[in-house]
Amino acid sequence: MTSVSAVMSGADIGVTPTTLRADLLSDQTMTQTLSVQNTSGSDLGVNIHVRPPPPGAGSPGPCAPTTAFVTQEDLGGSLVSIDLATGSVVPVVSSGLSRPYGVTLDAVGTRAYVTDSYAGSLVTIDVESGAMGVVASGLIYPLGVVLNATNTRAYVADLTALEKIDLATGEVTRVGPTFSVADGVAVNVAESTAYVTDSHEGTLTAIDLATGSTRTVSAGLSDPRTVTLDPTGATAYVAQADGSQVVVIDLSTGAQTYVGSGLSVPIGLALAGTTAYVTEFFRGEVATVDLTTGTVRVAAMGLGYPKDIALNCTPSFIRVVPDSVVAPPAGSVDLGVTFDSKGLVGGDYDAGIEVRSHDSAGSEVTGDRDAGHRPVPGLSRLRFTLSRALAERNTDRLERRH
């Protein structure tokens, strides 16, 4: 169990307590109180978000996709968010991008990293406020992007090369060979191997990130674009634009399986369990593809030439009610934090609650992040642990008794 102090620089906001813990048996719930304090002399609105823990800060546990972030080419380029429950589309950044392509999120889902192809840069965007900054510039024509597991480096498919970018300094290092058109990139959890699609050559190539050596994993693909890996790192999923399908590739053998026929120029792809979320460029939609049955359904419509997609998930074992409140001057508001062990296996699970303040007009009180990406002023983060170790011990006693 770890305490995380509230970050209150630049905002009149506090939280009590700074740590919550629930020890639950099977299918139990427990609700605890979180108090949000306003130390200013005027009303202060706050929005509350449940987030996965930062890299290395604990076990994230089950997480359900709630929001998709999509880059689109229409109107000069923008980043939009999509409510996956309703399909509603909301702009996050509608100006300042020059043909954005790849998008990925940090581990806690508060920052999007977007390749700005025409500008030759990698930018970071606060998904709540839309505040944007440049991480690295001078790239050739950046396309796909992925972060390493610790969120310290980005790997960018930069037209003819794979680039490694230090997120703290913006330093760019070229890795591996020259490609015809490096389009998509994925990196395994150990950060030992990168997988790059070459949309011109129709290949998926593995690059040893320590030595730079390469091997062709699979060939004969038809305009492969985004690539992502399953959690085990044994299988790659590729959006095949010309083939109008998702290609499932065994990384040990290169064997290909096709699912989701009838897609209209699929470019972006993100995984959520056995479901792939795919952007359809010409149709202007996001579709879901059931990777078991191949069934295709529409998740969102009305997009303007969507490119890549990233999913934001909310830990499913914890919820906060209400998720938006106004704290009175020099006062506080109590929130209900409910832990729910339904469907969990025994173990510890961690999540974070982000309390983000805004003024009476709704403007976010966030300030700017520095190059090291320290927490934004105006945010308070807490970490919680949900444990079902007691359930395992209790079950063991019952089995011995009978």
Tens-place pLDDT, residues 189-200: 999 999 999 999
Question: What pLDDT, on the 0 to 100 scale, is given for residue 115?
Answer: 98
63-77 pLDDT tens trace:
889 999 999 998 679
From the centroid of its chain, how far is CA 162? 21
User: Using 50, 70 and 90 to split pLDDT, how confident is the model at 386?
Assistant: low
Question: What pLDDT, on the 0 to 100 scale, is given for residue 395?
Answer: 35
**Is 105 within 8 Å of 310 (Cβ atoms)?**
yes
pLDDT mean over 315-336: 92
Contacts of residue 164, Cβ cutoff 8 Å, sequence gap at least 6: 153, 154, 155, 172, 173, 174, 175, 209
Question: What pLDDT, on the 0 to 100 scale, is given for residue 184?
Answer: 98
230-265 pLDDT tens trace:
989 999 999 999 989 999 999 999 999 999 989 999
Options 2.60.40.10, 2.60.120.620, 3.90.380.10, 3.40.50.11540; CATH for 13-60+319-401 is 2.60.40.10
What percentage of the chain carries pLDDT values higher than 70?
86
Question: What pLDDT, on the 0 to 100 scale, is given for residue 60?
Answer: 76
Overall residue count recorded for the chain in this entry: 402
Ordered DSSP codes for 255-280: -EEEE-TT-SSEEEEEEETTEEEEEE
User: Using 50, 70 and 90 to split pLDDT, how confident is the model at 124?
Assistant: very high
Work out the burial of residue 33: count CB atoms within 10 Å of its CB; fewer than 13 is exposed, 13-18 middle, 19 or more buried: exposed
369 secondary structure, DSSP code: -
pTM (two decimals): 0.83
Retrieve residue 151's tokens. Answer: 């969120």
Question: What pLDDT, on the 0 to 100 scale, is given for residue 387?
Answer: 54
Provide the residue ranges of all domains of the chain, joining segments of one domain with +. Answer: 13-60+319-401, 63-314
Which three-class secondary structure state does DSSP give residue 394? helix
Q: How far apart are CA 153 and CA 158, in angstroms?
A: 15
Lowest mean pLDDT among 6-15, 68-77, 110-119, 287-296: 6-15
The residue ranking higher by pLDDT, 4 or 237, is 237
Work out the burial of residue 163: count CB atoms within 10 Å of its CB; fewer than 13 is exposed, 13-18 middle, 19 or more buried: buried
- What homologous superfamily is domain 63-314 in, according to CATH? TolB, C-terminal domain (2.120.10.30)
86-108 pLDDT tens trace:
999 999 987 889 899 999 999 88
138-159 pLDDT tens trace:
999 999 999 999 999 999 999 9
**Is 228 within 8 Å of 243 (Cβ atoms)?**
no
3-state helix/strand/coil string of 127-167 = CCCCCEEEEECCCCCCCCEEECCCCCEEEEEEECEEEEEEC
